């Protein structure tokens, strides 16, 4: 059985993963309609991964004697000024999620809940990879600057990075 505190933290994390999925789906829609096909593929796939993260938590809650609640979500931001803005806000979002996972792990340690701690370690590794990937995409976009032909080529490359942070 989960403690009430850990149960609530995991339930809050379900909402954060669901919100990540919706946020990246809205970003994918923006990219898809602005001609960034590669970025759109990357973001559609990233959105799917976040849904998987949400599902993994939901199943864990259900298997540990709780009943997960499927959360209501606010509509995510849908307009962006550039691909750079998209990936900067993706990185900001991931940093918030990492902090949240970190505090769940701290709570698990305080309560000697080693099973949930062990389960959450997978998320920690995942966050590290996602932050690194977003950082490297932002770095490349900085190098590209206003060079539209390089941006075109990088967009193609982005499609191949789909799933790389998984
Ligand atoms: Fe779920 O890994 Fe990002 O948010």
Q: Is residue 166 included in any domain, yes or no?
A: no
Alpha helix stretches (DSSP H) within 66-164: 83-110, 114-144, 148-161
* pLDDT value, residue 160: 85
pLDDT tens digit sequence for 77-123? 999 999 999 999 999 999 999 999 999 999 999 999 999 999 999 99
84 occurs within a structural domain: yes
Does the CB atom of residue 130 touch ligand 1 within 6 A?
yes
Q: How many domains are there within the chain? A: 1
For residue 116, tell me if it sits in a domain.
yes
Report d(CA 9, CA 152) in Å as an integer: 42
CA angle 141, 144, 149 (to 5 degrees): 120
In a domain? residue 91: yes
- Is there a domain that residue 138 lies in? yes
Task: Judge whether 102 lies within some domain.
Answer: yes
- What range does the domain containing 108 cover? 4-70+77-160
> What ligand 1 atom has the least distance to the C-alpha of 20?
4
Query: Distance from the CA of 6 to the center of ligand 1, in angstroms?
Result: 19
This prediction has a pTM of: 0.94
Spell out, as residue ranges, where the chain has pLDDT lower than 70: 163-166
| Ligand 1 contact, 155 CB (< 6 A) | no
Residue ID of nearest Cα to ligand 1 atom 3? 94
Q: Under a CB-based contact definition with an 8 Å cutoff, are residues 127 and 104 in contact?
A: no
Q: For the domain that residue 118 is a member of, what is the CATH number? A: 1.20.1260.10
Chain length of the chain: 166
| 165 located within any domain | no
Q: How many CA atoms lie within 13 A of 46 on its CB side?
A: 36
pLDDT of residue 83: 97
């Amino acid at each position: 059985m989960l403690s009430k505190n850990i149960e609530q933290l995991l339930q809050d994390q379900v909402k954060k993963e669901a919100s990540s999925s919706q946020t990246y789906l809205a970003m994918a829609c923006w990219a898809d309609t602005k001609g960034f096909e590669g970025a759109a593929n990357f973001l559609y796939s990233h959105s799917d991964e976040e849904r998987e993260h949400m599902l993994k938590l939901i199943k864990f809650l259900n298997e540990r004697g709780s009943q997960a609640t499927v959360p209501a979500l606010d509509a995510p931001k849908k307009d962006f000024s550039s691909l750079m803005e998209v990936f900067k806000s993706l990185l900001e979002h991931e940093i918030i999620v990492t902090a949240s996972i970190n505090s769940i792990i701290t709570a698990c340690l305080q309560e000697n809940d080693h099973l949930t701690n062990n389960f959450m370690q997978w998320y920690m590794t995942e966050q590290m990879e996602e932050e690194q990937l977003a950082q490297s995409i932002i770095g490349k976009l900085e190098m590209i600057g206003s060079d539209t032909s390089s941006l075109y080529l990088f967009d193609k490359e982005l499609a191949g990075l789909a799933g790389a942070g998984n």
